[in-house]
Amino acid sequence: MPRIVGVDVPNNRSIWIALTYIFGIGKHTSSLILKEAGIEESVKAADLSEDDISKISRIIDQKYVVGGELRRHISQNIARLSSIKCYRGVRHRRGLPLRGQKTKTNARTRKGPRKTVAGKKGVKEKR
């Protein structure tokens, strides 16, 4: 398995897809990296030479924020939003959707599984 930017990419995949195993690199970015490195997208990751791997690693290091550094950057942004108590920061803190989605019926992904609360069955009549 070739190791690129601290991630073991799978041997049996083409390098175009194998690069997407790195956090922060999608299919489009992967194709841009390979075009700049001068490597065909259809080449399997196992068939890459050490020179090709070093080219790819150098390009990623110079131009892209990936992996743990990107995760840290994202968490710092969320912490900043929370600290200034803006709307998005408050929604992050409460675990609710941020971008205007309705929450009465949906939003189960952000809110988690339903927590059933015992409610009133009906108002009892006074005699």
pLDDT for the residue numbered 124: 65
pLDDT for the residue numbered 36: 94
| Domains of the chain and any CATH numbers | 3-64 (1.10.8.50), 68-111 (4.10.910.10)
Output 118-122 pairs: Cβ under 8 A, ≥24 positions apart.
none
pLDDT for the residue numbered 123: 65
Tokens of 71: 């995760």
pLDDT for the residue numbered 122: 67
pTM here? 0.76
- Spell out the per-residue pLDDT of the chain, length 127, in tens: 788 888 888 989 999 999 999 999 999 999 999 999 999 999 999 999 999 999 999 999 999 999 999 999 999 999 999 999 999 999 999 999 999 899 888 889 988 998 888 876 766 666 6
pLDDT for the residue numbered 30: 95
pLDDT for the residue numbered 25: 94
Q: HSE-up of 21 (CA within 13 Å, CB side)?
A: 20
pLDDT for the residue numbered 34: 94
pLDDT for the residue numbered 3: 87
Q: HSE-up of 35 (CA within 13 Å, CB side)?
A: 6
